[in-house]
Amino acid sequence: MNFLKSIFKPKNNAPEQTETLQEWMDSNNIIYEIDEADVGYKIIYFDVFDKIKFEIIFDGNRYIINGAYKDQDDIKELLKTQQTIDSGLEEYMYNPENYSLIQVYEFVKSTFSNGEVSYELIINKQNELILYCNHKSKDKSIPLIKIDKDSKRLYDIKNNHKVNSNEAVISVVNQTINCQPLLFATDELKIPADSPFADIVKQYLLNKSLVERLNKTKNIEAKMINAKGNCTIFIIYKNGSALEYISPTKQSPGHFFIMDVDEDNTLEDNEEYWISKKILKMPDLLSGKPDEGNLPIRKLGNKKSLRLE
């Protein structure tokens, strides 16, 4: 009889899930914001750098994330994973060894804010902090700079060598130019004036433009050489003489160095020298150049000479 009762005993329905996603996030100390959506509302999750990582829309019945419906359990797993990543990043942020890369990240994040490119810091399996560049139109992510695990110094991944902070910033800017050249043909760059990298980057962009202009002049070959984050313009003339020029920045007083071949083949014997001298003075007329009000006076007369013979 008891056996029959157990067969025909009404089955109790499984208890419905009553905890909302917000309640679960609160109980797990996950920080978020609530905002209105076209339908229902959205939960906004920020990463450790206050960047929006997820927007989870609740339409009254189901959750939508990245344009797709997701179960609440799937969203919880996604948030758990991201919170683990952010907790690791937060530890790195307060580690003095990683401060230089955090500075580089904050600078490029503020400078390139048009949406075509974005930057993020990731911890790899070797427990190294890496700066990535994400290209929206090309749908790819490129590793740029990392904290070397052994030396604890900045490491340029593409060029495969250790760099200082200035060199790291120039490398990131240069790779961004190569992938998104139109960014530099507009006024969308917002270089933070209070950043220690501001003048270094302005100098680099300025010198890059000068080199392009110089190479349009006949009988001149101009190159830009980067050393320790300082950009040098090196010009070779028809008769073999050369000129090296460094524009002044807050870190450098500037430099003008000429190299004659011999007494019969000097720099000033080249007609193009006088043209290039005018081109190098062009920055005095340009906006967006390094803050020359607080820099050494730009003079092309403070030259040093060297005979190549």
- 């984050």: which residue's tokens? 229
- The answer to whether residues 143 and 164 belong to one domain is yes
Both 154 and 239 in one domain: the answer is no
**Among 92, 108, 141, residue at a domain's last position:** 92
| pTM for the full predicted model | 0.67
Q: How confident is the model at residue 307 (pLDDT cuts 50, 70, 90)?
A: very low
The whole-number pLDDT of residue 232 equals: 84
67 and 121 inside one domain: no
139 and 232 assigned to the same domain: no
Residue after which a domain boundary falls, among 150, 185, 220: 185
Do both 175 and 216 map to the same domain? no
With 80 as the cut, is the pLDDT of residue 180 above it?
Answer: no
Whether 83 and 151 share a structural domain = no
Q: In what order do the strands lie in the sheet with 255-260?
A: 220-227, 230-237, 242-246, 255-260, 303-307
Q: Which domain holds residue 67?
A: 17-92
Average pLDDT over residues 84-105: 82
Number of domains in the chain: 3
**Confidence at residue 17, expressed as pLDDT on a 0 to 100 scale:** 54
Most confident of 165-174, 240-249, 287-296: 165-174
Same-domain check for residues 295 and 204: yes
Residues 211 and 292 in one domain: yes
pLDDT of 146 over the 90 cut = yes
Mark whether 103 and 136 lie in a shared domain: yes
pLDDT at 187 over 50: yes
Rounded average pLDDT over 200-208? 85
Asked, for residue 278, whether it belongs to a domain, the answer is yes
Q: Is residue 266 part of a domain?
A: yes
Predicted pLDDT of residue 282: 65
Assess whether pLDDT exceeds 70 at residue 273.
yes
Mean pLDDT of the chain: 78
